[in-house]
Chain A
Amino acid sequence: MSKDATPKWRKDFPVAWGADNYVTRREFTKFLVLVSGATAVGNGYFVLRRQDHKAHPYASQLIARTEELQPGQVKLFRYPTPEDTALLVRLEDGTFAAYTQKCTHLSCPVHFAAKRSRLECPCHNGAFDARTGAVLEGPPPRPLPRITLRIVDGNILAEGVIGT
């Protein structure tokens, strides 16, 4: 067969059908089952890591004296790094709690609403329990990271962060 006898469609599509790189439904289904296995392995990873929820240790830092705050008052401080703002809250029963100030939704700074005894995010009306950091309402998907405290001789020390 001379070169000129080659039909035009063959010139336009010179790749043979068998060499074409298309994916059949069968191959795609097999690939999805492989992804399914990988997803199950991913879930297994969280089972293995479920004991790793201890507080992340950071250097101990003096953040306030107990007499500085009256019940319902709040103090801003920075922990664990100078870039991380945090809130120290004295609850109505006199106990202290501290949380990082970043909302777990979109990182807006939360503030303490003393009347309702909760931490509120003004951006999307999220609210957290001041005692536990748990989400009370709004879009935040997780509790506020809690800063562990230790009181020694009237000094309030920050010692780690749970839930970063």
Chain B
Amino acid sequence: MPPETPQNGEYLVAAYVITAVILLAYWLRLWSRVKILIGGEKHERGRRT
């Protein structure tokens, strides 16, 4: 890196972390809903048999 290049790596880290948090939080929300519904389905199937 040339010496005159600005040192601003903390902004890079912040942006990457925030992106991961937003996307993973949404994915986990969907995943947990699917998991609950699948659990309900298994329970219902077990009750019927």
Query: Do these two chains interact?
Result: no
